[in-house]
């Protein structure tokens, strides 16, 4: 693999061509985004999901072979979860990652107060980390990241749940899920109580991302659109139209002003997260299955 990707604001995409690509975005107002600055070889296992850690130095990818963690500075990876350990179809993995390694580039994450609607119960059972998971079923689950104990079952969808994400700044109190039932939903992570429903997509909802402030949720769908919602009320804020095929991934920039989407039309697209205006296009040689932004500037 190519080593020493450049520092700066970076987009990470994963594709069916078996690669993880890094794209440098020096000026997000520039719509002429060109070739990737680094390509990391995932081997025979085509990555279908990607997530970048808050430190901007590492990312995780999920594939049929399992979950890999990548060192973005060295361009190397290691298999951390073998798919043979997971029941069901590993293609439906979703992955999330938090890490901070000494000596690498770092970026401070915003510290926001937890939401009032379920903050009092968000730390039930201890103050350790929380992990949210999805499977082929209709529910997502929240686990204690230290003991492995089940904290809550998020059960309001009536079809398979495809992805989930914690709301930034909520102290792990809220989780967003998206499903083949064409909706997204926001839950209290401690009790499983439904807080909001995101309705408007006309086909399966494949992916979700939450803005750094925790006030907006983006969703991607096989209806060829991505949409932006109010995370509290569930009201629709913007519809992003431009892809020619299913949209499989979406992610916010660290400042929340831009969105990146990944599509089976072999492109990733950059958008204004507030207005929904198109900003730029990134091209793969095969379907683009997911995307993520490095938070490092």
Global pTM reads 0.68
pLDDT category of residue 131 using cuts at 50, 70 and 90: low
- Those residues with Cβ within 8 angstroms of residue 64's Cβ, 6 or more apart along the chain or in another chain: 45, 46, 48, 83, 90, 91
**What pLDDT digit, counting tens, does each position of 139-192 carry?**
887 766 556 567 888 999 999 998 888 887 655 588 999 999 999 999 998 899
Dihedral pair phi/psi, residue 193, rounded to 5°: -70, 135
**Interacting residues of 12 by C-beta distance below 8 A, sequence separation 6+:** 20, 21, 22, 23, 50, 52, 59, 72, 291, 292, 293, 294
Contact by Cβ (8 Å): 284, 275:
no
Best CA proximity match to 216, nearest among 241, 195, 200, 238: 238
User: How many other CB atoms sit within 10 Å of the CB of residue 121?
Assistant: 15
What is the per-residue pLDDT across 236-287, written as a single tens digit (0 to 9) for each? Answer: 999 999 999 999 999 998 889 999 999 999 999 999 999 999 999 999 999 9
DSSP 180-203: TTSEEEEEETTT--EEEEEE--SS
What is the model's pLDDT at position 89? 46
With bands split at pLDDT 50, 70 and 90, how would you rate the model's confidence at 113? Answer: very low
Strand partners, 228: 218, 238
User: Whole-angstrom Cα distance, residue 292 to residue 184?
Assistant: 19
Decide: 113 and 164 in contact? Cβ < 8 Å. no
pLDDT digit string (tens) for 13-33? 877 777 788 877 663 445 455
CA angle in degrees (0–180, nearest 5) for 260-261-264:
150
């Amino acid at each position: 693999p190519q080593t020493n990707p450049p520092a700066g604001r970076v987009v990470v995409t994963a594709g069916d061509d078996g690669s993880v690509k890094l794209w440098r975005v020096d000026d997000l107002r520039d719509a002429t985004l060109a070739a990737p600055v680094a390509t990391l070889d995932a081997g025979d296992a085509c990555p279908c999901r990607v997530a970048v850690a808050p430190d901007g130095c590492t990312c995780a990818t999920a594939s049929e072979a399992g979950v890999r963690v990548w060192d973005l500075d060295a361009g190397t990876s290691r298999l951390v979860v073998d798919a043979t350990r997971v029941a069901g179809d590993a293609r439906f993995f979703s992955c999330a990652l938090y890490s901070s390694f000494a000596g690498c580039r770092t970026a401070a994450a915003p510290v926001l107060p937890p939401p009032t609607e379920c903050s009092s119960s968000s730390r039930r059972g201890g103050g350790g980390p929380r992990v949210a998971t999805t499977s082929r079923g209709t529910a997502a689950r929240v686990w204690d990241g230290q003991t492995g104990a089940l904290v809550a079952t998020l059960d309001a969808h009536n079809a398979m749940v495809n992805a989930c994400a914690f709301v930034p700044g909520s102290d792990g109190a809220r989780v967003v899920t998206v499903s083949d039932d064409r909706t997204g939903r926001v839950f209290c992570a401690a009790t499983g109580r439904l807080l909001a429903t995101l309705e408007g997509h006309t086909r399966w909802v494949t992916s979700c991302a939450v803005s750094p402030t925790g006030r907006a949720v983006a969703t991607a769908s096989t209806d060829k659109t991505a949409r932006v919602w109010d995370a509290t009320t569930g009201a629709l804020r913007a519809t992003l139209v431009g892809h020619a095929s299913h949209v499989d991934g979406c992610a916010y920039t660290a400042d929340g002003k831009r969105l990146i989407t990944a599509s089976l039309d072999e492109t990733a697209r950059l958008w204004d997260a507030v207005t929904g205006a198109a900003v730029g296009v990134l091209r793969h040689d095969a379907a683009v299955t997911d995307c993520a932004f490095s938070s490092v500037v």
